[in-house]
Amino acid sequence: MLESWIALARGPLLRLALFAMALGLLRHVLLQVWEIFWALRRAGDQVVPWGLALRRNLEWLLPWRYLQRKERRLYNFTSFIFHVGVIVVPVFLAGHVAIWQQELGISWWRLPGSVADWLAVATVVAAVGLLLGRMLNQASRTISKPQDWLLPLLCAVPFVTGFWVAHPSWSPLGLQAVYLVHLLSAELLILLVPFSKLVHMVLFWTSQTSSELGWRFPPGSGERVRLSLGKDSEGV
Amino acid sequence: MQLGATSLPDVPAETLAGLCPPRLTSEKIQERLSYIIEKDRIAGDLPRRFLEVFAAILQHTNYRQVIDNYARIPARCANCSCACQIYQRTNAPEDVPCYRSDLLLEVYRRHFTLRGIVEEHLRITPLLTDEYILEMAETYYHCTACRRCTLECPLGIDHGLVTHLARYVLSEIGLVPRALVISTRAQLEGPTRNTSAIPWPAIADSLEFLEEEIFDDKSIKVKFPIDKPDREFIFFAPVSDYLMEAETLMGIAVTLDAIGLGDAWTISSEFLDGINYGLFYSDWILERCLREEVDQAKRLRSQKILIGECGHASRSAKAFVKTFGGGRDAPPVVNIMELTHRAFKEGKIKFDPDVVTERVTYHDPCNLARSGWIVDQPRELIRAFCKDFVEMTPGGKWNLCCGGGGGTVSVDELRPYRTHVVGSKKAEQIAATGAHYVIAPCANCKKQLREVCQDNGLTDVEVVGLHDLIYKAIVLD
Ligand code: SF4
Ligand code: SF4
């Protein structure tokens, strides 16, 4: 019984989830690129510091920037570890690479098993740490929305269950049940990417550029806004 | 993803009565936000009008791509709260930059994205109520748009930009501080063509008087060039420099004379006020002010625009003259401190280091320093004539706002808030330096810092412009 569920989750469901994610992300990227293209066309000043925007993005990807200051240092570092974990493990774990090879026909470098184990543990710890950091900081706690609490928890599930799949002796449940939970939780996450803040995995890259372009106004736009509001004859 | 604005669901008023917060009367609004523009402008259905304006602005500008991005990615990590001096002082949730920006972003999500529109229709009570709009009107004028928090956001969310946009939308439905509107009206549509509504003869008199002052102080004849064609620079300063902050203007005139540019600049009698409140609340105003400047440059055939000691006047010209003044052909924009600094590097200015003996500190205007544009130049100049210069910490790109940024300094009703909440860290900073002179090369910062010092008991501090002290220390051969 469980076996057929696993087969379903491992095959068609996984493909469906990945396909939906790819499609959703593609839509976001295309719309973003399209909007940026038009914004640039309309802008009166078309000089955009692309390099600076890119550099700022890269700066935030590496931890040294926030290691230098004391506020929320631990939180930001935890976040760094978490991000490394959620990117590296799914993509480079040996077992996953085997699936990619089977599905896509391409293969790449595999993460050594022991490193993967430690990274998985670190990711789970980091997920809990992120929740604590959110809970214990008044500002962060009060601005958080449901997805901010649920997503780290949901991210931890495939890691915990994945660890148990690799080390069944640690697992409180049967291997098959754990494996099924592993697959389904991962697929749910993948599916949620385009619809939640996880979409920052693609939109992050353009946010600095978007900000710069936001400050590039189209000449005459103020006048056109007034016109379309029927206020063209009104004064200041 | 990107659809037009939806109007609020058409539910009969009686059904809503029990569910919705009651409509606010314009008297109520006046009571809460006494500094907001004239009563008769804010009648009617605020939420509906807010959405109409928001939709029109999104359609005609470049904000949509950035707002859409911001609406989807926030991490809500609260990094920005560590950088905001308001939140650091109040610890109030509504002062977290991300919270404030989310007020507008949530309106965008609810009314301009597919998912939000569905959500909005599934609810009985709408998101956008009179109360919600008032909260925005209040909070977006608490934020000074200093953009310090932007340096801290890992996702690059620019809260200064969101504040600017929110104020723009609010201003088009009549929610904008009266002080800003009255000044702008005088500048763009009044007979005097400046924000303080001072008639030209009074300014001309004042300039003549300043020439005499300079002669008395320095025994040199310096003329303020008025309407001289074909000069390299056309000069715009905040109009207050012509009367209240005359030392700054005298310092600038003497400096330009000393470095051999006395015949290279001109003031336009038709439009001389560099103030541009559009940067704070309206793209429409921003463009109109800058077009005036560019037109004057054309009229007098000046090649470059020179801006006096003023943060927002400098930034608005530097960043937007290109936008509204013809792209690459637009006249370049220079700030006076850049010019003085260059002349100093070329050895064209000499200072007497024994004139200014008191301790001096320097306040970075956000609009000059946040982008790293003008940070080191004034410091090099100050060090050249002053032996006892102390830095405020943090400073430079990471400076704290004076507390009156974003035009709030003009709003007298906000003074207690500006000096005791937003400016209190600044007061601590100034006190910690033990300085007698605080140099603030910006008309807005000067006014605000004086009030900060007054209200926080810093009686020994004198707030001055950079060229005020240069005027004292410069050596003329
Ligand atoms: S730093 Fe950026 S992502 Fe984090 S809470 Fe502030 S605005 Fe949101
Ligand atoms: S722009 Fe300045 S005042 Fe406004 S939220 Fe950011 S740090 Fe605070």
Question: Is this complex scored with an ipTM above 0.90?
Answer: yes
| CATH, domain A2-215, list 1.20.950.20, 2.60.120.1090, 3.40.50.300, 1.10.760.10 | 1.20.950.20
Q: What is the reported pLDDT for B12?
A: 47
**pLDDT class for B419, splitting at 50, 70, 90?**
very high
Q: What percentage of residues in chain B have a pLDDT greater than 70? A: 94
Residues with CB under 6 A from ligand 1: B 74-80, 97-98, 152-153, 155, 157
Q: What is the reported pLDDT for B40?
A: 63
- pLDDT greater at residue B126 or residue A161: A161
Q: Average pLDDT, stretch B112-129? A: 87
Q: In the predicted model, is pLDDT for residue B8 greater than 50?
A: no
Q: Which residues of chain A have pLDDT under 70?
A: none
Q: Tell me the pLDDT tens digit for each residue of A118-128.
A: 999 999 999 99
CA B257 to chain centre: 29
Contact call for residues A55 and A206 (beta carbons, < 8 A):
no
Contact call for residues A198 and A86 (beta carbons, < 8 A):
no
Distance from CA of A10 to the nearest CA of B (A): 30
Q: What is the reported pLDDT for B6?
A: 41
CA B19 to chain centre: 40
Q: Average pLDDT, stretch B356-368? A: 97
Distance from CA of B66 to the nearest CA of A (A): 5
Map out the domains of chain A as residue ranges: 2-215
Question: Please, where in chain B does CATH 3.40.50 lie?
Answer: 192-344, 350-475
Using CB atoms, pick whichever of B60, B69, B320 lies closest to residue A210: B69
Q: In the predicted model, is pLDDT for residue B23 greater than 70?
A: no
Residues B461, B451: Cα–Cα separation, whole Å: 11
* CA distances for A82 relative to A79, B8, B174, angstroms: 5, 41, 46
CATH architecture of B350-475: 3-Layer(aba) Sandwich (3.40)
Q: Which of A210, A223, A234 has the most B C-beta neighbours within 10 Å, making it the best mutation to test the interface with B?
A: A210
pTM value is 0.94
Q: What is the reported pLDDT for A65?
A: 80
Q: What is the reported pLDDT for B16?
A: 42
Mean pLDDT estimate for chain B: 92
Using CB atoms, pick whichever of A32, A197, A225 lies closest to residue B57: A225
- pLDDT greater at residue B252 or residue B7: B252
Q: In the predicted model, is pLDDT for residue B242 greater than 70?
A: yes
B159 lines ligand 2 (CB under 6 A): yes
Q: Tell me the pLDDT tens digit for each residue of B33-78.
A: 888 876 566 667 889 999 999 999 999 999 999 999 999 999 899 9
Considering only CA atoms, which residue is closest to atom 4 of ligand 2? Answer: B143
Q: Average pLDDT, stretch B435-450? A: 97
In CATH terms, the fold of domain B192-344 is Rossmann fold (3.40.50)
- pLDDT greater at residue B310 or residue A48: B310
Q: Is the dihedral of CA B443, B448, B451, B452 positive or negative?
A: negative
**pLDDT class for B126, splitting at 50, 70, 90?**
confident
Can you state the angle between helices B283-299 and A221-228, rounded to 10 degrees? 130
What is the radius of gyration, based on Cα positions, of chain A?
Answer: 22
> Ranked by mean pLDDT, which of B27-36, B72-81, B335-344 comes out on top?
B335-344
**pLDDT class for B121, splitting at 50, 70, 90?**
confident
